[in-house]
Structure 1
Amino acid sequence: MKEKVVDFIKRKREVLAHHQFEFKDWLSPTIRDYWVEFLNKANNSQLASWVKEHNLVSVANGNSVEVEKPEPIEMHPEAEKLMNSLVETLGEEIHVGQWLTVDQSRIDRFAEVTDDHQWIHTDPERAQTESPFKTTIAHGFLTLSLLSVLTDSVDPANQKFPTAKMTVNYGLNQVRFPYPVKSGTNVRARTKIQSVTPIKRGLEIVQEITVEIEGCRRPGCVAESVVRLYF
C-alpha cells in the first residue's frame, strides 16, 4: 500500500506544484491513513523535504499542519517566454535529429574509455558465430552518451534554447535499452517535452528522448532526461 502512496504522489506532483491546497483532499480514507503513517516515519527523509518544497499540507495525528510557503519564484522574462512556448508543445514531438552511424571504430573507442571490452562489443568474429545478433553491438551506455549529439544539444550553431545563458544536464529519471544497436547501423533521436517547471533563475525541462534505429521497429534507447536552463 505504501508503494501506492508513492505512485500517487508521482502522478499528482505536477498538478500539486501549480495548485496549492490541502494534500489530504486528494486522498481516499484508506490512502490517507497510510499517508499519515508514511509522514510520521519520514520526518527527516527526502519525501518530507519534497512535501515542504511543494508547500503541501501534511496530516499527522489527525490534524492538518500547514507547511510554510516557499518564496515565490521571480521568473526571468526570457524564461517565462520560453516556458509559455514549451508548455504549448507538451507531449508533442519537437525535434528529430540527423542519422549518425555507430560503427565498430566508435564502439572500440568507447570500450577503451570505459574498460568494457566484452566480446559482444569488441570481437566481430566471435560475435558472428556466437551472438544471436550475428554481429557486435554497441554498449548501452554508448548509445546513452550519444544523446547530446543526437539531440543537437552540443551544436553551437544550432542551439535548442538560445536565450538561455547556460544549459545543465541535471540527470535522468529513467532509461531503457529495448533493442541493441548493431555495429554499422544508423541511429537518430526523437524528442518530446514532458514537463516544464520554473526553478530559481531558470527552468527545469523533462524530455522523453527515443533513439530510433534505422530499419528497426524497436528503439535502441528510451530515456527521460532532465535539463536545467539558467537565464
Structure 2
Amino acid sequence: MVVINTFEEYQAHLGKEIGISNWHTIDQEQINKFADATLDHQWIHTDQEKAKREGPFNGTIAHGYLTLALIPYLWKQIADVRNIKMEINYGIECFKFGQPVLVDSEVQLKAKLNSIANLRGVTKVVIEATLIIKGQQKPAYTGNVVFLYHFND
C-alpha cells in the first residue's frame, strides 16, 4: 500500500501505476444486496436458475454498476491518503465495460495516476482504474475516477 501525506508525495506518482488491490470475490449474496439497494432485479443478475438455463454466461453476472461501486473499497487497499480534511468522489470519466463479471469471480483494481492538479488548495487527481478478473485477459472495465482531496495545511 502506498501512503500519501501531501500534494508533492501524490505528484511523485504521476504517470505511474500506484498499485493493485487485493482480490475480492463477488458472490451471489453481494449481487442480490446490490439489486435490492438499486431496485435492479433483472434476472441475469438475480435468478440463478434462469440465468443458468437461458443466459449466455451459464449463470448470473454482477451488475456493471456494482463493479464500479467497488472502486472506493478497492482503492483504499491501494493508497492510504493521509493528512486530509476531506476526500470527495468527484467523478467518473470514459468508462468502458470490456466483459461481464460472472458470479463468484475474483476481481482486483489496478490504479495509475493520470493527472494531478492543485486547484487553489484542493488537489484534483485522475486515476485510471482497471478492474481485472482473475483468469481473464480482458478487464471488466477501464476508465478514470476523479477524486478531490483537501489536505491539511
Per the normalisation by structure 2, the TM-score is: 0.89
Q: 2:25 — aligned with what?
A: 101
Name the structure where strand makes up a greater proportion of residues. Answer: 2
Percent identical: 36
Q: 1:59 — aligned with what?
A: none
* Structure 1 residues 171 and 148: CA distance shift in structure 2, 3 A: same
Pairwise CA distance, 1:159: 5.9
Query: Within the alignment, does 1:206 sit opposite 2:126 as a pair?
Result: yes
Question: Which structure would you say has the larger RCO, counting Cα contacts within 8 Å and 6 or more residues apart?
Answer: 2
Any gaps of 5 or more consecutive residues in structure 2? none
Q: Name the aligned partner's letter for residue 94 of structure 2.
A: Q
- Contact in 1 for aligned 2:128/2:145 (Cα 8 Å): yes
Query: Within the alignment, does 1:112 sit opposite 2:112 as a pair?
Result: no
Pairwise CA distance, 1:130: 1.4
Q: Deviations over 1:2-50 (max 9, x none)?
A: xxxxxxxxxxxxxxxxxxxxxxxxxxxxxxxxxxxxxxxxxxxxxxxxx
The whole-number CA distance in structure 2 between the counterparts of 1:86 and 1:161 is 9
The equivalences for 1:1-231 within 5 A come to: 82-152=6-76, 160-231=80-151
The whole-number CA distance in structure 2 between the counterparts of 1:133 and 1:122 is 13
The whole-number CA distance in structure 2 between the counterparts of 1:200 and 1:134 is 52
SS in 2 for 1:149: helix
SS in 1 for 2:118: strand
The whole-number CA distance in structure 2 between the counterparts of 1:194 and 1:187 is 22
Any gaps of 5 or more consecutive residues in structure 1? 1-78
RMSD, aligned α-carbons: 1.8
Pairwise CA distance, 1:131: 1.4
The whole-number CA distance in structure 2 between the counterparts of 1:113 and 1:103 is 16
The whole-number CA distance in structure 2 between the counterparts of 1:201 and 1:93 is 24
The whole-number CA distance in structure 2 between the counterparts of 1:121 and 1:216 is 20
Q: Name the aligned partner's letter for residue 228 of structure 1.
A: L
Name the structure where helix makes up a greater proportion of residues. Answer: 1
Pairwise CA distance, 1:161: 1.1
The whole-number CA distance in structure 2 between the counterparts of 1:145 and 1:123 is 21
Q: Name the aligned partner's letter for residue 10 of structure 2.
A: L
Q: Which runs of 4+ in 1 moved over 4 A?
A: none
- Contact in 2 for aligned 1:95/1:151 (Cα 8 Å): no
